[in-house]
Amino acid sequence: MINGGGSLDGEGASAWPLNNRSKDPNCLPLPVSMRLDFVTNSRISSITSINSKNFHFNIFAYKNITISRIRISAPKDSPNTDGIHLGSSTDIRILDSFFGTGDNCISMGPGSKNININNVHCGPGHGISISSLGGSKMDADVTGFVVRNCSLVGTSNSTRIKIWVPSYPLLVSNLTFEQIKLRNVSNPIFIDQQYCPSRISDQKVILFFDLFSFLNFNT
C-alpha cells in the first residue's frame, strides 16, 4: 500500500527540453516518477505527483489494484507526462482523482483488461486513451473497460483509441464510456487508425472492434 498525502516532485522542467527521442534514437528515455511492476493486490491513495520528467505512474503487469484520491499536475505543454500508464494489467480501479498533464491523463496499453475509471477529472491533457496498439506481434488484446462519471476540461481529446500503422492483429472489446462531461474538448471521440508520427505510411491496420458503448456525453 502507498498512501499518506505526500508529493513527488519530478522537477521535469529541467529535462523536458532534452526530450529528443523522436529525432535521436540514441537518446535515452527520461525517468518515470513512479514505476510499479508485477504486483498483486495493492492500493495507492492520497498521493500527489508534480512535473514528472516522463510518465507520473507507469504500471505494468499489475493485478487487482485500487488507485484513489491522487492528484497529477504538469503543464499542458510538458511532453510525455502521462498521468497513469497501464500495460498488461488486470482488474484496475482508478477512482476520485484529478489529472492535469501535457499528455494522456490515463493511458491503457496492450494487454489491459477489466479497467474501471470512475469520478476522474482530466484537464489539461490529451484525455483518456487506449493507446499505441498493434505495434508488436507480442501485443495482447484489450478488453473490459468502463469509464464513468468523468469530466474533461480543455483537453485535446475525451476518449482516444490509437493504433499503430502498420499493425499486428489485435482485438479491442467490451468498452463502455458513459456520463462524461466535456468542456472545451477538441475531439470528444477520436479513433486514430493511422498513428504514424515519424513518417507517412500507406500500410494497412488489422484491428478488430467489438461491443463499444458511448453514452451520455454532455457539454
Residue-wise pLDDT tens digits, 33-61: 999 999 999 999 999 999 999 999 999 99
For residue range 144-157, what is the model confidence (pLDDT) as tens digits?
999 999 999 999 99
pLDDT for the residue numbered 5: 85
Instruction: Please state the rounded mean pLDDT for residues 195-219.
Output: 76
Q: Is the pLDDT at 26 greater than 80, yes or no?
A: yes
CA distances from 88 to 34, 52, 91, 139 (A): 17, 22, 11, 9
- Decide: 97 and 89 in contact? Cβ < 8 Å: no
What are the residue numbers of the active site?
103, 126
**Prediction pTM value:** 0.94
Q: b/e map of 71-101 (b: 16 or more CB within 10 Å)?
A: bbbbebebbbbbbbbbbbbbbbbbbebbbbb
pLDDT of residue 90: 98
Q: What is the dihedral of CA 219, 71, 140, 217, to 10 degrees?
A: -10
Q: What percent of the chain has pLDDT over 90?
A: 73
pLDDT band at 87 (very low <50, low <70, confident <90, very high): very high
- Min mean pLDDT across 24-28, 35-39, 60-64, 81-85 is at 24-28
pLDDT at 132 over 90: no
User: Averaged over 136-151, what is the pLDDT?
Assistant: 94
User: To which H or E segment does residue 96 belong?
Assistant: strand 90-100
Average of per-residue pLDDT across 120-143 = 93
The CATH code of the domain at 30-50+58-218 is 2.160.20.10
d(CA 6, CA 171): 39
Res 173: pLDDT: 94
- 60, 123, 121, 124: which is closest to 92 by C-alpha? 60
- Most confident region among 159-173, 180-194, 197-211 by mean pLDDT: 180-194
Cell numbers given for 8: 513527488
* pLDDT cut 70: percent of the chain above it: 95
Given a contact cutoff of 8 angstroms between Cβ atoms, the answer to whether 46 and 67 are in contact is: no
| Mean pLDDT taken over the chain | 92
Confidence of residue 192 (pLDDT cuts 50, 70, 90): confident
Average pLDDT of the segment spanning 78-105: 98
| Of 59-63, 94-98, 168-172, 194-198, minimum mean pLDDT range | 194-198
**In this predicted model, which residue has the larger pLDDT, 53 or 168?**
53
The pLDDT score that the predictor gives to residue 201 is: 58
Domain boundaries, the chain: 30-50+58-218
